[in-house]
Structures are given as C-alpha cells and as structure tokens.
Amino acid sequence: MLKKVFCITLFAVLLVSAASAKTKLIFWEFMMKDDTAKVVLEEFEALNPDIEVEFVQLSWATGFDKIVTAFAANSAPDVLELGNTWVANFANEGVLSDISSEVEKYPEIIGWNQSEYDGKTWGYPWLLGTRAMYYNIDLFIQAGLDPENPPETWAELIEAAKKIDALGDDVYGFGMGTGEPQTPWQEWFLPAVWGNNGNILSADMRTATMDSKEVIEAAKMYQELSKYSLKTKSSDLSEVFGTGKVGMWIAQAGNISKFSSTYPDMNFMVCFVPKPSHENGFHASFAGGEILTIPSSSKNKEAAKRLVEFLISTNVTMKITKRVPSIFPSTMEAGEDPWFEDHTLEYIFFEQNAMAVPAPQHPKWVDIQFKLSEAIESIVLDNTDVESTFKKYNTQIQKILDEFNN
Amino acid sequence: MKKATKNRLVLFAFLSPWIILFSIFGLYPILFSFFVSFTKYSGLNPNMEFVGLDNYFKAFNDEVFIISLKNTLFFVFGTIPFTTGIALVIAILLNNKKLKGRNFFKAGFFLPSVISMVVISMMWTYMYSSNGLFNSLASFMGFQVEDRSWLASTKTALPAIMIMDVWAAFGYYVILIFAGLQSIPEQLYEAARIDGASPFKISVKVTLPLLKPTLFFVIAINTIRSFQIFSEIYTMTGGGPRNSTQTIVHYLYEVSFRKFEMGYGSAIAYILLMIIMVLTLIQKKLLRSDV
C-alpha cells in the first residue's frame, strides 16, 4: 500500500515538474555589463515566464577565442552576439542559422547589410557603434580656424591639419591610428575610400580593387594627411588628444565621457567624418555593429527568437545606450528619445550611424584586413609610393580571394 | 597472484592518474594536431580534407611566415646572450659570501619572474606609450621626441619588446645559475688558490667548466621559451605594425584561431618543433660537459 502511494506521489511530482519546466536559453554577449543585463533579462523573464535565460558576459580580450572553441566543441549558446566583421566567417562555416525570413518582420531596423553574406541574412543588427571626428576647439582658435565650421571636405581637413601642426613641435594636426591590426583601416582609411564611392573589393567580392581610381585618390589624401599627423596606437592618440596636443581625431563615441571625466579642461567638439568634396562623395564612417545570431546547433530556436525580438526593441537598446553611451540602437526611432537632448555629442554619432558602412562581408576578411593595414602603414609610416604599394597589396589580396574561390 | 605481477599492478595503479591525464590532454592533442597538419580543417565544423604536405610547403611560400621566422630568430638570438650574460654576472656577484644583503638582491632580481607576463606587458606598454616613462625621460633629458609609442613604429617595436623580455626573464636564470654555483665544491677553489691562480683564472678554469651543465640547461630552457614568445606580442602589439613583431607562435595562433586554418596552424607548430629540436641538439653538442 505504502509503495503504491509513494509511486503515485513520485509520478505526480514528475508530471508537475515536467509541466512547469522552463526552456533554458544560454545567451553570450559583450555589450551589456552585469548590472544592465540583470535588469534587462529580469524584465524578459517576467514577460516570458516559460523561459529562463542564463547569461555569460564575454570580454573583448578573450571572447572571440571562447566563441571559436565553443563552436569547435559543438557547445555554442542559443543566442550569441558577434561583431559584424565576424559574421561572414562563421556563416561560411555553416554554424549560424539563416534568419533571412525574419527581416520583413522588422522594417524599423537599419543595418541589415552588416549581417548579410552569400545573399542571406545571418543575424539581427542589435547595437551600432560608429566613428565621428573629434576636434580640439582651443587649437582651432589658436590656428585661426573657425570651430563653428569644422572641416567638411578632405581639402579642408588637410588645410586645417597643416595649420594646427604648425603651432609647435609637440602639436599635431591629426591623430592617425597605426601599429594595431584594425585601426589603420577602420579609423580612417577605408571609410575614406567608401566616402569616395569606392571599395577595395568588387561588388561580387571576387576581384581586388586596391588599384582603382577611388582607392588611390583616398590613399594619396591619407599620405598627405599623415605628414601633419601623429601616427600611433589608438590608446596613445586618446591620451595625447586628451592632453590637448592633437587637433582632430576620428574615433568612437566612448571617448566623449572619457575626455569629460579625465581631461575636464580640454575643449572639444564632434562633427561628421569629412567627405571627398562638397560636390562628391559622402561622410562615410566605419560601421561597427553588434549582431545577435542564433547558432545552428541551438535546440531552442523559437525561444531564442523571442529573446532576440525583445533585445532589439528600442526600449531595451536605449537602456543599454544610456549605460554604455558608445553604442546606439539599430532603430531610427530611438533618435526621438529625450536622452539625446542632453547628449548632443552622442546624437552626432547616432546621426553618423546613418552614413556608416560595414566592412565587406567576406569570410576571408581577417586575412584581407591584415594586408590592408600593412599597405596603409607602408604609405604613412615609410612614405612608400602609393601606386606601387597598392598594386603590390592588390596582388596579395587577389591571391586570398582566388584561393577562397577555388 | 605472483608478487611481481602484484607489484606491477600497484605500480600501474599509482601511475594511472598521470597516464590517463597525459593521454587525454597531452598525447592525444599532439597526435591529433600532427594528423591535422596534413589536412585542410577549419576546426569549426567536422569537414576535413587530406592535402598531404601542402601545409608545410605553403609555410615556406608564405611571406608572413618567413617574416615571423626571421623576427623570432632575431628575438631569440638578440635576447639570449643578454639574459644569460646578465644572469651569469649577477649570479657570480651574488655568490660572493661577503656580499651583504644577498637574499634581498636574490629576491629582488627574482621578483619579475613571479609577475604574470600579461601584467608585465601591460606595465611596459604604458611605459612605452606616447606620454610614458621612456618618452618623458628622453624629453626631460633634452631630446626631441615624437609623441609616438615605441610599439607603434616598425623600427622600435620589436627591440622594445626584447628589452622588456630581458628585464622580465633574467632574474629566473640568476637563481638557476646561482644554484649551479653553489654546487661547485669549495675544495676546488681552495686548491686553485693554493696553486696561485688569480680570481679571473679561477672563474675561467674552475667556475665556468663546472657550470657548463647548468649553463646548458639555462640556454636550452631560454631558447625554447624565447621561441615560444606569445603573450607579450598578443598583449602589446598583436604582431604589428606591419608584422614587425609577428612571431611564429603568434602567427600560428592567428592562422588557427583568427583565420580558422587549423591544418596550416598545426603544420607551423610542427615546423617550430623541428627548429627547436635541431637547435637544442646543436647546443647540447657545443656545451657538452667534459668535466
């Protein structure tokens, strides 16, 4: 008798716990700090009582390696944040879910081109961060320039850099990122090419176009600008700009709060990245985007989509922007948020996002970007001839493309 | 059961934790990466294509690999004489029993060895930065310096990392050589002194020959460690600018974990193994102890 009661109770307990079992989602991300994530995910769980989210914050120093090893060990999470330059690579390896059919559901989202590869869409643009141009107001006044009208074109930029550079041996017209794998092309050579309506790969991404007219024009401008520039790593540029020794610098929005707190006496403003001329081109900048992806190994894809839908809503992304004001929502309606009224410099970055261009979504972009950075450092650090240098690297990039295509 | 069999079983039982762990975390990866070095394999999915020796041939036609090989050799041969030389001189000085505060100096020289290499790299990155210690010192002494990090120039980046590495490494070798010096019997020195040998002659004829096994060990360990330089490069420069600080291990990491070419990465690892093996054998021959 006792045995029977025990069995029935056990069965009932199992039945109840099975009925109330929550779907457990694993979510890996970089952008939300612990406290933000806690607030956001608690809200999600309250709205979706059948889902439980286990969240892991990745660091930029080790996150990429962790993601690679997770894919290799087939233990990827259900929702994964990826930098936009990584998406094509993982998509090409077949480890991400194709979410092309979802795009129509979100007409308010911009930046879908950041997660496209091979005619399909592999992730949801979540947060967009771009670069704009910082300039030192005091140095502008000392050099006889009008801080109300910062340079809008390449010619105006070089002219301004020249005048500021002439102020003294330890004053530099422009801050040019070198000595790191990404900064040489992100801040700012490749966006200058895009602004000049060019690119370093053809539209079908099968041909290298480093020797095209648009690229060479941008390279010559960049080499000329380098004569009046401090060429060093971005952490140094931030420090030297902060101490008031650099006139202009193209960088991320995170520096606004850094300068205000660390160098409160330095007067600076932010403007759009210069374009080739008043008549031609546009104010292109590098689009750094955070993409939410659903790895193909996930067993909870429907629940994962619900989490993503919640995370990309303006309500959530603005919460993140307010806590991490270097990255902005992927929805244009976020611009109406009253927070931007008190954060006018951040609003310039938000507007610059509309002109931001992502790096070509090629699976071999990592290889290509190393070559591109080498070419740029060659012309600005060693002052090598632009045409022959870019021709040499064009051949090397073409080799990478050919090897991939064969 | 026979006693001998039982003993063997007990022996095996005691050894088995190590054997199991080594097989899983040591032997298997070594054999697997050797196999992978003959394939095209991304590591992200199970697709593997056998390509024979292609990855090995590819390395010697790869400009960046050749640069990284040259940089690594420059690093190895540029740092070892300094780390070993400085360590040897300091160890001999510390061996003088009349020296006051010997333990203090020993601890002081050894201190960098207990700090993580990543922390050291971060410290030195700050010291090499635009407004860092070295640039500030140079401008204080009246030199005209550009506000550029030492790590952002193709000319200074690798030597800057080498200087840091000598500073960080020599203390460990001081302790090793010091231990070697302590093991030389005092009677030999006494005998030499009675025979009228000068302190210099004693160093050359007694100390150095008897120190040969220790020196061989120090140089071999130093060579292997220097060939494997990675965390400094990863933390400080990422191989740049323009591959001027690209080293073999950093490049194989980039190839495997950034470009997802695990097959090629494994081939580079095996080439490195061969280089280190050959060099260690040469060193062994040159520093053979005749005593």
Contact of B93 with B85, CB cutoff 8 Å: no
% of chain A exceeding 70 in pLDDT:
95
Q: Report which of B239, B275, B277 is spatially closest to residue B255, judged by C-alpha positions.
A: B239
Token readout for B104 is 């203090």
Token readout for B205 is 């004829």
Contact of A218 with A189, CB cutoff 8 Å: yes
B187 Cβ contact partners less than 8 Å away, ≥ 6 residues apart: none
Burial of A351 (0-12, 13-18, 19+ CB in 10 A): middle
- Contact between A95 and B157 using a beta-carbon 8 Å cutoff: no
Q: What is the pLDDT at residue B291?
A: 47
CA torsion, ordered A26, A30, A33, A37, to nearest 10 deg: -30
B27 Cβ contact partners less than 8 Å away, ≥ 6 residues apart: none
Residue predicted with more confidence, A332 or A299: A299
Beta-strand relationship, A79-83 and A285-293: antiparallel
Q: Beta partners for A231?
A: A176
Q: What's the pTM value of the predicted model, to 2 decimals?
A: 0.81
Contact of A347 with A372, CB cutoff 8 Å: no
Contact of A236 with A173, CB cutoff 8 Å: no
Q: List chain B residues with pLDDT less than 70.
A: 1, 288-291
pLDDT digits (tens, 9 = 90+) for A20-45: 578 899 999 998 888 888 888 999 99
**Residue of A59, A377, A396, A403 to mutate when probing chain B, most B C-beta within 10 A:** A377
Tell me what the mean pLDDT of segment A73-90 comes to: 90
User: Backbone phi, then psi, for B194, in 5-degree steps?
Assistant: -60, -35
pLDDT digits (tens, 9 = 90+) for B241-287: 888 999 999 999 999 988 889 999 999 999 999 998 998 888 888 87
Q: Report which of A214, A341, A334 is spatially closest to residue A284, judged by C-alpha positions.
A: A214
Query: With DSSP H G I counted as helix, E B as strand and the rest as coil, what are the percentages for chain A, rounded to 5?
Result: 50, 20, 30
Quickly list H helices, A213-343: 213-226, 234-242, 254-262, 301-311, 314-323, 339-342
Residues of chain A numbered 363-382 and touching chain B (CB < 8 Å): 364, 366-367, 370, 373-374, 377-378, 381-382
How far is Cα B225 from Cα B239, in angstroms, rounded to an integer?
Answer: 18
The contact set of B with A (CB < 8 A) is: 42-45, 63-64, 129-131, 144, 146-149, 151-154, 157, 237-243, 257-260
ipTM: 0.74
Token readout for B273 is 């193994």
B231: which chain A residues are within 8 Å (Cβ-Cβ)? none
- The long-range contacts involving B188-192, CB below 8 angstroms and separated by at least 24 positions, are none
- Contact between A90 and B130 using a beta-carbon 8 Å cutoff: no
Q: How many CB atoms lie within 10 A of CB A159?
A: 15
pLDDT digits (tens, 9 = 90+) for B73-109: 999 999 999 999 999 989 988 887 777 888 888 888 8
A65 touches chain B (CB under 8 A): yes
Quickly list H helices, A20-136: 34-47, 63-72, 87-92
A70 touches chain B (CB under 8 A): no
- Give Rg (Cα) of chain A: 24
